[in-house]
Structure formats: structure tokens, C-alpha cells
Structure 1
Amino acid sequence: MTIISVKTERKSTTLTMKGSYLSLAVLLGLGGCGEAQQAAPTNTVTPQAATVETSAKNTIDLWPALTPAIAKDAELEAKITALVSKMTVEQKVAQMIQPEIRDITVEDMRKYGFGSYLNGGGAYPNNDKHATPADWIALAESLYQASIDDSVDGINIPTMWGTDAVHGHNNVIGATLFPHNIGLGAANNPKLIEQIAAITAKEVMVTGIDWVFAPTVAVVRDDRWGRSYEGYSEDPAIVRDYSFAIVEGLQGAVSGDFLSDQRVLSTVKHFLGDGGTEKGIDQGDNIATEKMLVDVHAQGYVGGLNAGAQSVMASFNSWHGEKNHGNKYLLTDVLKDRMGFDGFVVGDWNGHGQIPGCSNESCAQAANAGLDIFMVPTAAWKPLFENTVAQVNSGEISQARLDDAVSRILRVKLRAGLFEKPSPAKRPLSGKTELIGQASHREVARQAVRESLVLLKNNQNVLPLSPKLSVLVAGDAADNIGKQSGGWTITWQGTDNKNADFPGATSIYSGIEQVVSQAGGQAMLSVNGEFTEQQKPDVAIVVFGEEPYAEGNGDIDNLEYQRGDKRDLALLKQLKAQGIPVVSVFISGRPMWVNAEFNASDAFVAAWLPGSEGQGIADVLFTDADGKVKHDFGGKLSFSWPATPQQTTVNVPLATESAEVKAQYQPLIPFGYGLTYQSKVSDAVVLDNLSEDNLAAEQTLVDLPLFERAVKSPWSMYIANSAERQGLSSSVAQNSALTIRTMDRVVQEDARLVSFNGSEQGVVGLISNFPRDFRAYSNSDSALTLSIKTTASLQKPLWLGMACEGDCRKQVDIAQQVNGKLGEWQNISVSLACFASEPMDFGKITMPFYLATSDKVDVSFSDVVIHTQPGESTVQCKK
């Protein structure tokens, strides 16, 4: 075999991911993997040249002039002025720096006195996923005490800890996990939302944390967006009302127990227009008119600011090509001046580094635009601190702007009573671990599950079910608490979690089994729907849906469910063909095109992402033992349901929109729809004999990302040596042959660094617990491609391989190609023809990629993709 290679350098991207992607492998439930070490490079990409008419942009009178919810307090303002007057430039800048817990020490806090710090999604005290509440409190206490220790930095202003508690205290093992926002939007119950927020505040305070990065108030306009489930609705009115309710629930009412010892600071995010980017691309460009920005995307801020929100988070996205983190018009002129916001604006995860001309380590423009706190994880915090001090001293950032930022931070801290409250370990709720996942909290979450369910189809009144029946429960989401909880669940992406990681929680199957067994029926779990003739059930409940994802990793290019791999549809058809009534329970973070699945179901429930209390679904599906309905369906679609995979921007028209726009609104199922047990046949949208044509004439074979910013479902990353293979569930892992950790190449944790020690052959790769069909790719000119870098020349083979069911495998030595460009990132692309000889079976691929060597060498890799048109960079194989 001869290998010929032409290598091309891949262009960089400007996206920055937030949170900490620690989780990579569900398969095997073993092991651990890498954390971010490198800062992202300087952003040199120029803004898009999206010109807009003067009348469509920067028309300040379009924006609501709000009266601040909290009146200015002269005594408090005097305290702020006095504090600021005593502070040095260094002390002031330190208040603007927010590092992440994995990148600072207690001594760093003592030396610099950071105004705040955070734990990204999937970051834990001691890097321990199973850290106890006591561990969280200990870290909070030590960093707090260091912040008020003036022995080194000369100042004793208390710090604040911020966390992404977006559907409960979701980073902590055992916490109550509520349905994600999309499900809560279907419930349309602001009072329930306020109650959920208050419970979240209590569970957060148990761990000594002051501040929550919630609510997300994005108004989703394109359901391809991977954060759609973080939006309550496509209707800005629901988002506005919910924003008010959740801010009051977290912080308390301004006229009541505002920021008492039972409450936490909230953050309304992300300002502005993150739900309206072109093609639903996360961190992309929103080209809405300014009026649409006000009427749609700003309404959540109207609600949140009216409730007294004390912080607002800037958004990664751009508006007409200008990054929001550097947009003075939006952050200062609109938010602070016009809308009267006197709290602080915090950045998102290194979002300032995306501004053209800025980097993670230096960005005067963001501060000048109105950013008050830089969220700066990784080691970039130190040079950012030093550069910001220098920029103030040089006048690039004015002293007035610095003082304004610090005054806003101090104002919030004083309002929150942080100068008077006890230290984190001594606060009233701190350490009360009985509040974490308390039964009364779980009951509220269970209620939220019930109210969020939307009944879309119920032929012949299949539902409700008698609990005395023989019930088959099938589907890979039936007994999978991680899948039913979605992203932002213990880990950033919500992956690599097992049921054992959710003490006190209930899977959907276990809730069904409890109801049925108590009534004398029989519930049988069979993920693949198999049963013996003697076990033939009266009804099948199939629980299936999307794998967990967060942020950009959930972006898709159309709404077809399981495109090219209809395994769940096959399960539904298999059961229906046996004459078994089929009830589908669909787990998803957005409405999806499931026409074929509708056709194959007798009843269909949109369950969204219900969280830890799966038994709430059984509460609604089943009657009591006497046949009486216990809980009816009440959920209504807060998102319109698409009629085709390409109908990604179908949104209920606003009252102010034209008759023409309203006439064009033609979803499969309209906004606000939802059946009940009292619904008549005439009330129902007919979901039988729907077209299963996905309009895919133009949908030729598309590139298949395997690892691109994160591992793509259904693959999991693993490492192996000669004796064993282990899955990864943390940011760093090792075996006797290698160590692996995450690293930042362009965006957060988008690459892996593997240090092979040379003692034996080590392997890192991707694996699935069921085979995948790659025949369409192998029959084309597709290639397996990756970006790779080594710093030392390989003396032994570096194998790039694929494997299929039965442990058949083929591999290619790419050491020569890698050695051709040491110390630099390069693309290696190997034609699938190189792996095509016997015994490779492309119809049953279980490992689409692995790297293996027995050399002693550090290898970094990213962007592993099956490319359909690899072009000149392909490694060709000649026999």
C-alpha cells in the first residue's frame, strides 16, 4: 500500500463555547478525559459587511424607557463612592475579572481579590464530578475568606460565585432537576416558574453559592438552534412573563424578601438576540430590524428588569455583523441608559475574545462598550488583568468607565448584603443537605413534568391507560435519566451520565413500573421491544428522542429526526406490525419533523426534557386503579410544529405583523395546540397518513462530524492499552500507555491532547454500542479527516484506523505525513478506500476513528469528520 498525501491547513473559526465539556463517553461508563489549557488565539476575523438602513438600526426611541425596579438609595450610593475612591486601578480591575474554579487557587484570590468567579458547566470542586455539598461549601468558604483577606491585595471586598443552575442546581449530584425551559413554556404557568426558581435558589445556597446565571430569555426563531430548549417559547409574551417570574423566584420580590438569605442573584441572558441568528447557528449573526429586536428579542429583558434583575449577560451573537460583547449601542445606550439598568453586565465564556481586534487576553473595546465583568476562564485571566490595568493607565479605557463598572459591581454586592452576610459556610441554608433533592422540591418538579406534557395524538382514545394492563416499555430513553434530562445536567453537554449519578431521581420506566405494579398490572422493560409470545403486551409505551447536547453542539441543518438512521421508527413499526397499540413518548429539545413516527403511533406525547422526576409522565398516562383520571394533559405547544424538515423558522405571527405574514403561517401543528382527555375528534389535528417525503431531492450525502468541538452522538470517546478499554467521563484520564486531556485549539475544549508514554501501544478513539451504516460514504469518494499536531518526530507508526462489529479493523500509518509538519496543526485525510479490504464491513461500523502508537510522543487532534468531498487533501491508497 502506497500513501500519497497533500495537506491543507483548515481555516479557524471564531466561535467560543461556554461551560466545561468534561463528559465524553456514555459507553462502558468508565474512565475520564481532558480539561482546557490553552487560550483561544487572537480573533482576526472581520465583521460581516451587513449594512442596514439608518431607519432600521440605532433608533433609540423604539426601545422601552423603563423605570428602575429599585429606586436609587443615596446612602448606598455614598458607600459606593467612598469605596471606589479608596481603590487602586489594580483593585478595580480585579473586580472586573471573573476566572473559573479550575484556573485559580486560593492564593490567587488572596493576591488579586477577584470580584467574582464561576464554575462552568461540568466543573466541580477538586475536579470531582461526585463532589459533595460539603466540598462545594469548603471551596466557597476558602475563596471568600481569601477575597476579604487584605494582607496581600490591600482590600477586603467579598467575592461572588456564579453558576449555571439553569434547570435546578444541575451541576450537583442529587439536586432536583426541573424540566428544561421548553417544557416549562408548554406549561404556561408563571406561578409554577416562580416556585421552581425559589427552590433552585435554596438548593444553590446549600452549597454556598451567591449567584445564578439564569434565566435564559431567548425567543427562538429557528429551531435548528442547539439551544432551542433553553427558550420558553417562540412567543415573546410568554418569555416576558416567565422572565419576571423566575427573577422574582430567584431574587425575591423587590417589595418583599429581595436578596434575603433565602435568595440568590439572577442573570437575565443573553443580551441580545441569541435566539434569532441566521440559520439557527449558535453564536451567529442576527439580522433582525431594530423594531423586531425590540418587539421579539428584548421582551424577556422587559420582564426581568421590571422584576429587579441585578445582572445581565452579554451574548456571543452579533447583530448585523457586530459582536454584542463590543456593541456600545446595545450594552450602554439601550440597556443601561434607555432601559434604566443599573446593575452590571457580565460577559459570556471568553466572549470578549470574539470581538475583532481583541483576544481572550486583551479587549479594551468590550469594557468601553459597557461590559462590566469579563468572564475569563483558562489561564487567560492573568494577562487580561495585566492588559486591562495597562489600558486604564494609558487612557485607552477611561477612569470614568472603570469607575462606572466597579460602582455597578459594588452596587449589586451591597444590595445583596454581601458585606453584612456571614461567610458562605455560615449562612442559614449552607450545609443543609436535606434541601438538596428534598421530597417537597421533587414534588414541584413532578408537577412541572405533568404540566409540560403535550398530547399531540390520541387515536381511539388509547390514552389514558389502565394500570392493570400488561405494558411493554421500550426505547433507549425509557430507563435513562441522563437522556430525559438533556444538556446542562451534571456535565456541560449532559452526556456520560449513568442512572447512578442521579440519586433520588426516577426514570420514566421506573415511574411506569411503580404505577402498574401497585395496581396489579405488569410492566416489562425491553429497550429493543422484544418479548416472548407468552409476554405479548396489551400496549407498548416507546420512549425515544434526541441525545443530550448543549450550545453549538446541538445545532442541526434541518429538523428531520434521525435522518439516515431511522432505528426508532423501525421499533415503532415493529410493534405496530404485531398488533400492539403504540404510545410514543418523544424526548426532545425542540419540535422535530417526525411524520413517519406520527404515522406509526396510536398516541404521541411531546415530553420535551422532563428532568429528574420521570414518574410525572406515568401520572398522566395512567388512570388510577379504579379507572379515574388522576391528572389530565394541560400542556400546549409553545413552539409551532414543523410540516417539513426544512420548515425551521415557522413561528406564530405577532399581532402587529401583516396579514400576508399571518397567511404564510402553515405549520403541521399550530402554536398553542394540545389535546386533553376531554378533546373531541374534531378538536384534533389529523396525524395519520402524513407525507413521509422529507423533500430531500437536494439533500445529497453530507459531511458526517464525529468529533467537532465535542464528541457527536452516538459516539463516545475511549482510551485503551493492551489490557483494557475505558470510557471517558472527566476532563483528564490515563492508563498505563497514555494520558489524555481536553485543550483549546480555537474554541473551548475543541481538541484533545494525548501523551503516549511509549511503554506499550496506547489507543484513543470513538466507539458506539451499536453498529452504524457507513456504506453510503464508503461507496462515494469520502474520506476520514482530522486535524493533528505533534511536537516531536514519530519514530514508530501512528495508526489511523476504523473498526466494525466483530472487532474487524483496518488501519493506516500516518506517521510520515504527521512528521512532515512538526509543531503545526495540519489536516490529514485518508480515503475510506484505504480501509475497504476484507474483513471491513462498512455496514456495521462500531469504531469510525482511532489513533494508536507505541511511540513516546504528544499528539493533539481535533475536527474528526467523514468528508464527502475531501478534495486535494485526500490521502489516496494505491494497491
Structure 2
Amino acid sequence: MFSTSERRLALKAQATNILLFIIASGLLSACSESANQTVSSTTSTEKQALSLEGRDAKVYWPNANTKLKRDPAVEKQVADILASMTLEQKVAQMIQPEIGYLTLEQMRKYGFGSYLNGGNTAPYGNKTATPQEWLKFADEMYEASTDDSLDGSKIPAIWGTDAMHGHSNVSGTTLFPHNIGLGAMNNPEHIRKIGDATAKEVAVTGIEWSFAPTVAVVQDDRWGRTYESYSEKPEIVKAYATAMVEGIQGEIGVDFLQGYRRIATAKHFVGDGGTLNGIDRGDTIASEEAMRDIHAAGYFTAIEAGVQSVMASFNSWKGKRLHGHKYLLTDVLKEQMGFDGFVVSDWNGHKFVDGCDLEQCANAINAGVDVLMVPEHYEAFYHNTVAQVKSGEIPMSRIDDAVTRFLRAKVRWGLFEKGKPSTRILANDLSVFGAKPHRELARQAVRESLVLLKNNQQILPLNPKQKILIAGDAADNMAKQAGGWSVSWQGTDNTNEDFPGATTVYAGLKNAIEQAGGKVEFDVAGNYQTKPDVAVVVIGEPPYAEWFGDIQYIEYQKQNKADLALLKKLKADGIPVVTVFISGRPLWMNKEINMSDAFVAAWLPGSEGQGVADVILAKANGDINYDFKGKLSFSWPKYDNQVILNPHDENYDPLFAYGFGLTYQDKVELAKLDETSRVKLQKSTNMGYALFYRQLAPELNWVLGDKTNWSVIVNGPAGTTENSDNLTVQGINLAYQEDARRFVWSGGADASAKLAYNGQQDMTEFVEADSVFNFDLRIDKAASDKVTMGLFCQAEQTGCAGEVDITDFVNQQKVGHWVNVSVDVSCLAGTDKVSSVKTAWKLQTAGELGLAVSNLAIQKTDGKKAQFSVCN
């Protein structure tokens, strides 16, 4: 299925994982000299393939729009509306702001066609807002959009949300397993029911449009969005795309877009699951045949099912960004495949197109993007787009086509007849939200998605009348169980209280065991008062979303084997161990599997953790309650260097093949697995060391403090200190979503913002003879008192290897503009001042100050003179 050069590139990608991660994403992280040498040996043919921007020759993309026919009445209504609109009103329909930045007054003024809530935003700034509050906000935006007193337009706006696995942004909803778990079910009819239940729960809050389903076909599981994919093979994705779209939108000719049905979105077009080294928003170099047959497989069936929206992908294809790829978006998707809905961009996805920035992008519109997701800079984008149409840079015909497509979906959905959100079917019907039938659907999905990989001595199912120890930090942890895109974007700041009505794995086990007459003891660390008959250990990945989940190594807990130590402890005590693994992808964990008598891949099960107990516990009389049904929709690695592992690969040699999954009828004894690690941790070279680039280095934390408490760790991608009114922090956007942090000092007392290590870090290998400390800085409010920057501090408030007064520099900057800051630290090379660092960087002031920072890194000078120095 892949060409020889593609396979060669894939093998080289495995060998040069870290360096290619740097090249593709700009991340200043570790790489080795041998990796540099490997990359430099890339053939001229491969280099030419990497630079291709256009299509391959003579590739046919069949028309998929075979069921949804144009309704003359709909087309006339759309044409009549379009004919009555001004240019300004048309452009407003194409722009989608985010509710964290959009006010009712701005909606009333411009009449934007749609708006969205990001993963970290809820109505009125309340993370756990009730369904009634979501509905109230929807009503307010509807009324503002139809108020024609300022913009002359009565066209209602629609609200888009990431209903990724249920109505997942809203606290108290039913959370279904993430897509990777659903793929293991291989049950399209159940997917249809999940889509139907999700549409109903979204309808309760008045929202019209769901950014789902994701139909990526992931080829490299290091990608941080792997769990959003149903399978590494297109067959399941194709079947599920039909089922989920029809579950959300209804079936063509039956109940299409009627009643409680919502508008669905197939995403992300196209190739998002095939980037080099699994780097989010990276480059996909697959052939056009592979793009069609693998990565686009789900789009054919989604379009056939009548999907009304397709979201463009962040990734590039052979070096050209999809958001600016006219051939794929227009020639292929709209013309050859016959998609007659609208293309929506991803979050600021236009910014990365050549010739574009956050505030304008004629090239994305001309390429075929119809609705632009412009969360923060929507006013400037609106005015610039109007000007670009008037100048001829964007043809009026392209604007008319885009607005026609968007209005067609609105008319098909019946937006103009349905009235404001609170008057529609199921609006505010709390009997539907988090309803018992929906939770039963989710519980069934958990049961059917569990994959049994090991069951030596037939230890499962467990007798529930035994003394059972439950351990592991994922056992009673809804944040881990739900993963990212659950109440908050990353999910890292969630607690069990953020999921009312949900059941953790521990709670489900405890209830079933005690009902059967058994005894339960729970301790995260595996301690116990009475020696148990068996231990159920629930472990797994921390929550993550998008690039925060990108990994360089597929070995589980490569640098900190805490969970392996727990398993070894229990085995040393002679206790049989059943491991339940919570994860968004298969990982190499031969050591952990060896320490387990049984091993269950539970993926990210969502809100109904009792589904695990349903399967791994027998009935009280010893009979099987539910057997295992799940089969791997992703291959499981045998070695830690199998970073690309798919059934169509040459020399395919997994530990557990695609489709594998034991049942209670299988009598299979898994022999001890090879525990040899073939991939070593990489060291830094002159490419540098990133502290905060798109995300924090894993060993670092953002820390706030003042004299009350100098070490307040900020949990999640954004947060505020509860210990003091003197300093707050917020995640903001520079180039990527929440890739910068904004700090505000109130001036009440001396306070500091820091990047601090979990322990102490030896920085000797990073600070060399020509090193500088670099970061991007934006001043939002001038300093009213002295501002100091400290580098490489050994203690909380003293002992910095270098300290620089930056007050004058701060107050000389233009408010609201980003600048680069560099500090010469070369004189610290070879000294013990950087051998035991607690804090890598800090800013401190006793006065008022507002600023934002991003892209903090230590790197080479490249001959450029630094603005500051600690070497004076």
C-alpha cells in the first residue's frame, strides 16, 4: 500500500524520532549526533518528495454524495437570503469567534454566523455551569445575532462545541469511552445509539453543532490525539463514520436534521493521523493513494451519510498546510467527492498558511475554507477580509459560495423556523441529560471495549466473595478515566467532583464486591491491613489533549517506573495481580505485563467505570457475568522501538496483533516477555533545550508565590492561585491554543512567577560556552516597581545563579506586542551554579505588572548578541 520511498522514510523516522520531532514542530528538545547523521543521509529523491505541495498524477477520488439530493425549496430559500445580504453580512457569516472573547454587544454589532466554546471555556466563565446556564447563554447569543438594529441582519448564529465522547464539555453529562475504546467494540450499531444519545444531551443545552466525529486513521501512536481515532485500519473508521453521523444528524430520508438532531462534523480533513513521528499539526508525506484509501476513508462514508460540516486539518501534506490546500479542499473534497456542506477551519488553523497571520488569511478562504474559526482576533479578521474582497484578493464568487454552503446547512437544519434555543425540542429537558438509558449505553460500551491481553492461570473472572485489594492512582480518578476533552480541554485540572453522576472503576468494583459478600480494601500505594486474596491495580496515562499528548517514547513511564514498582511490591508479597490499564494508546510495557497475572486494556472508559467490574468479576455464584468482547483496533508493540506498527507494514511483528483479544473460553498462557529496552533517552546537543514550547517539559511546573506561600503549583494548562490576590496566571494563545501564559501582579506584595522542577535538576549539559536563555514576551501593563528576572535558582527565593533587572526594558515595550528576550548565560558553563537547579526561571516584582510569556528555551547564540547577560 505504501511506496518503497515511503517505507524508507518511515524507517528513518523511527531511527531519528527526536531530531525529526524538532524539525517538524520547531521544538528545541534533545537529539543525538547519530540522529543528525541519519537525517543528513536522506536521499535527494526523498527530499524532493518531502517538498512536494501538489497532487500526484491521475488519482481518482470517487463521488460520495450519492444519497443527499438538493431540495429546490432549500436552494431557493438560500439564494433569496444571499441576494438580500451585504458584503459585510456575508463575511460575518464566515467568522466564528470563541465565547471567552465574544460579547453579546459584539455579536449584536457584527452578526457572526457562528461561535464556539473552546475546551477550557464554559458560559459565564463557570467550568461546571449547569445545562440551564448553557441554554441561557445560547438564548442570549441567539437574540443578539438576530437583533438587526446595528448590523441589519436577522440570520441566527449557531453554536459549535466539541461533543467528543458525549456532550463532553458539560459537567454531569454521560461520557462515553473515547474513540479508541469504541473502536475495540467493532459495533457500528452501538455507535449509532451513542451518536443519538449525544445529540439529545447536546439538544438540552440549546447547542446546534457538534465538532464530531473524528475520523482520523492513526498510523503512529505517539500522536497526542491517538485516542480520538477509532482504529489504525480504515475499515472500522468507515463503518463508524456512517453510524456516528447518522446518530447525530439522523438518517437521510427518515429523520435527517429533524427534531433533536444536530449538525455533525467529520474531522480533520485530511491526513491528521499520518504525520511524521506522530507530531500533532506536523507533515504527512503519504502518497495520494494512501491519503485517499487510508486517511480519507471515513470521509467517503460520512459524506454519503450527509454530514454537513468537514473541519480542515492542522497538518500539512508534503509541506503544504491543509488549511491552504485548494486541491484537497476544493478540487477533491467539494468537486470530486461531491461534498456540498461547508468546510470549517480548526482553532486559528489559518495562521499557519503561507501569507497569513492571526488577523487575515485570503489564502485559506480562496483554498476552500468556508467558516473561519477565529477565536480571539475575529474583529480584525472581519475587517481585513472585507477589505480583501473589495481589493479583489478574494473573489466575490468565493464569498458567495462559502456563505451559500453555510446557509444551506442552516436551512436544512430548520434554523429559521425553530426559534430561540430554549423553545426547541428537548431544550432544558433534564430527564435526558445524563439519563440512565444513556449511562447504560456508556456502561455497555465500556464492557465491550475492554480487551483482555493476558489471563494466566485463568485468574479472571475474579470471585467477588474474596478479599480484594484495589490499588493504583487511576482506580478512583475520574480525570484519568475520562482523559482529555472532558469538562476541560486537557482534563488535568479535573477532580471527581467535576463529574457528578459518574462512577470510578474503584467505586464500581467496591459496589459489586460488597453486594456479593466480598471484602474490599483500597489504597493507591498498595498498602493493606489484611493480606488480600488478589489485587486489582488500576494504572495509566495522565490526561492530555492534542499536542500535550505527543510523546517521543512508547515505553510506559520510561523515566519513572512508579507503577512497575507497585506491581513488583504486590508480587513480592505473593499476591496475584490483575492490572487494568487506562490509556489513550497502546504502549510498550512488557515489564508491567510480566508483573501481572492478568492484563486488561481499558482505554479511556469515560463516566461509567462500573463497566469494568461487570466483566472482570464473576457473579456471586461463580458464573461468568459478562465475557470480554473487545478486540484490538490498534496493534500492541512487542519492542519499544516499534513506533510505527500497522498491519500493512513490512516485517509486521507486534506483541498482540490487530484484532487480538482473549475471552474466558481461551486457555492461553503468556510466556515472560522480553524486557530489553532498545531506545535510550536522548541527550541535548546544540539544538537546545525547551522548557516551555507549546507545553511544559514534563519535569517542570508553573509555580506562583508571595510571602504567604512561595510555591503554589498551578495545575492544568491554566489556573489561578488561591493563596494570594497578588498574582494570577491564565493560559492564552500565541501560535497555538494555550501555548503562552499571562501573569498579572496586583501590587499588593512581592510576588513571583516561576518555572520550577519537581525536584532538583542538573543543567550542566544544557548550559554551555555559547548558551542563551530565550523567551517571547508581551507587556500588557507597565511595571510600577522594580522587576527582576532570576535564572537557575537553587532555593525558593535565594541563590539564583543569575539575576537581571529588566524594569527599564519592560517599560520601554509597546503594550500588546510580542518581542524576543535573550539572556547570555555562557559564563555559567562548567560551574556548580547550574548543577542543582530548583527553579529554571522566575520573574518577581512588588508592584503592578501585566505580561505574557511563551517559548522559553536554552539554546545556542548563533552569533547573535543577547539583550541581557548574567556574565557582567
Change in 2 beyond 3 A, CA 1:282/1:826: same
**1:344, distance to aligned residue in structure 2 (A):** 0.5
Q: Quick one: which amino acid aligns to residue 658 of structure 2? A: F
The farther-off stretch of 234-243 and 512-521 is: 512-521
Q: Quick one: which amino acid aligns to residue 378 of structure 2? A: W
Match of 2:694 among 709, 714, 736: 709
Q: Quick one: which amino acid aligns to residue 673 of structure 1? A: F
Hey, what does 2:542 align to over in structure 1? Answer: 547
Hey, what does 2:854 align to over in structure 1? Answer: 862
CA distance in 1, matches of 2:714, 2:332: 48
**1:673, distance to aligned residue in structure 2 (A):** 0.3
CA distance in 1, matches of 2:393, 2:47: 26
Match of 2:435 among 434, 438, 454: 438
Hey, what does 2:101 align to over in structure 1? Answer: 103
**1:271, distance to aligned residue in structure 2 (A):** 0.5
Kept in 2: contact 1:326–1:366 (CA 8 A): yes
Unaligned 5+ segments in structure 2 are 1-21, 28-45, 814-818
- The answer to whether structure 1 residue 720 and structure 2 residue 717 are counterparts is no
Change in 2 beyond 3 A, CA 1:877/1:81: closer
CA distance in 1, matches of 2:392, 2:241: 38
Hey, what does 1:142 align to over in structure 2? Answer: 140
CA distance in 2, matches of 1:607, 1:57: 40
Count of equivalent residues:
816
The farther-off stretch of 628-637 and 53-62 is: 53-62
* Post-superposition CA distance 1:363-409 (Å, at most 9, x none): 1111111111011111x111111111112222221121111111111
Hey, what does 2:741 align to over in structure 1? Answer: 752
Match of 2:576 among 563, 581, 587: 581
Change in 2 beyond 3 A, CA 1:173/1:463: same
Question: How much is the aligned-residue C-alpha RMSD, in angstroms?
Answer: 3.3
* Post-superposition CA distance 1:514-553 (Å, at most 9, x none): 1111122111111111224xx1111111111111111111
The farther-off stretch of 222-231 and 722-731 is: 722-731
**1:721, distance to aligned residue in structure 2 (A):** 2.5
**1:691, distance to aligned residue in structure 2 (A):** 2.0
Hey, what does 1:763 align to over in structure 2? Answer: 752
Hey, what does 2:265 align to over in structure 1? Answer: 267
Match of 2:558 among 555, 563, 566: 563
**1:868, distance to aligned residue in structure 2 (A):** 12
Change in 2 beyond 3 A, CA 1:812/1:426: farther
Hey, what does 1:312 align to over in structure 2? Answer: 310
CA distance in 1, matches of 2:614, 2:578: 15
**1:865, distance to aligned residue in structure 2 (A):** 5.5
3-state DSSP of counterpart to 1:825: strand
Change in 2 beyond 3 A, CA 1:831/1:761: farther
3-state DSSP of counterpart to 1:753: strand
Kept in 2: contact 1:788–1:859 (CA 8 A): no
CA distance in 2, matches of 1:828, 1:53: 35
- The answer to whether structure 1 residue 691 and structure 2 residue 674 are counterparts is yes
Hey, what does 2:665 align to over in structure 1? Answer: 678
Kept in 2: contact 1:784–1:832 (CA 8 A): no
Kept in 1: contact 2:464–2:618 (CA 8 A): yes
Residue pairs, 1:390-789, within 5 angstroms: 390-532=387-529, 535-653=530-648, 661=649, 664-681=651-668, 686=670, 688-696=671-679, 699-700=682-683, 706-711=691-696, 713=698, 716-724=701-709, 725=712, 727=714, 733=720, 735-765=724-754, 772=759, 774=761, 787=775, 789=777
CA distance in 1, matches of 2:803, 2:698: 26
Residue pairs, 1:19-38, within 5 angstroms: none
3-state DSSP of counterpart to 1:102: coil
The farther-off stretch of 723-732 and 433-442 is: 723-732
CA distance in 1, matches of 2:176, 2:26: 27
Kept in 2: contact 1:810–1:835 (CA 8 A): no
Hey, what does 1:159 align to over in structure 2? Answer: 157
Kept in 1: contact 2:59–2:288 (CA 8 A): no
CA distance in 2, matches of 1:537, 1:590: 31
Hey, what does 1:39 align to over in structure 2? Answer: none
Change in 2 beyond 3 A, CA 1:280/1:801: same
* Post-superposition CA distance 1:467-525 (Å, at most 9, x none): 11111111111110011111111111111001111111011111111111112211111
Kept in 1: contact 2:773–2:822 (CA 8 A): yes
Change in 2 beyond 3 A, CA 1:376/1:820: closer
* Post-superposition CA distance 1:237-256 (Å, at most 9, x none): 11010000000000011121
3-state DSSP of counterpart to 2:855: strand
**1:16, distance to aligned residue in structure 2 (A):** 12
The farther-off stretch of 738-747 and 92-101 is: 738-747
CA distance in 2, matches of 1:869, 1:559: 33
Change in 2 beyond 3 A, CA 1:16/1:172: farther
Change in 2 beyond 3 A, CA 1:14/1:291: closer
CA distance in 2, matches of 1:521, 1:390: 72
TM-score by structure 1 length?
0.87
CA distance in 2, matches of 1:790, 1:345: 33
CA distance in 2, matches of 1:470, 1:569: 23
CA distance in 1, matches of 2:623, 2:689: 49
Unaligned 5+ segments in structure 1 are 1-11, 18-47, 654-660
CA distance in 1, matches of 2:317, 2:802: 46
The farther-off stretch of 714-723 and 335-344 is: 714-723
Residue pairs, 1:825-864, within 5 angstroms: 825-828=820-823, 850-864=842-856
CA distance in 1, matches of 2:53, 2:825: 52
3-state DSSP of counterpart to 2:254: coil
Change in 2 beyond 3 A, CA 1:873/1:693: farther
Change in 2 beyond 3 A, CA 1:828/1:518: farther
**1:798, distance to aligned residue in structure 2 (A):** 3.5
Change in 2 beyond 3 A, CA 1:699/1:743: closer
The farther-off stretch of 818-827 and 643-652 is: 818-827
Change in 2 beyond 3 A, CA 1:564/1:370: same
Q: Quick one: which amino acid aligns to residue 578 of structure 1? A: D
**1:581, distance to aligned residue in structure 2 (A):** 0.7
Kept in 2: contact 1:273–1:298 (CA 8 A): yes
* Post-superposition CA distance 1:160-198 (Å, at most 9, x none): 100001011111110111110000001111111111111
TM-score by structure 2 length?
0.87
**1:803, distance to aligned residue in structure 2 (A):** 6.6
CA distance in 2, matches of 1:405, 1:249: 26
Residue pairs, 1:225-240, within 5 angstroms: 225-240=223-238
**1:833, distance to aligned residue in structure 2 (A):** 7.5
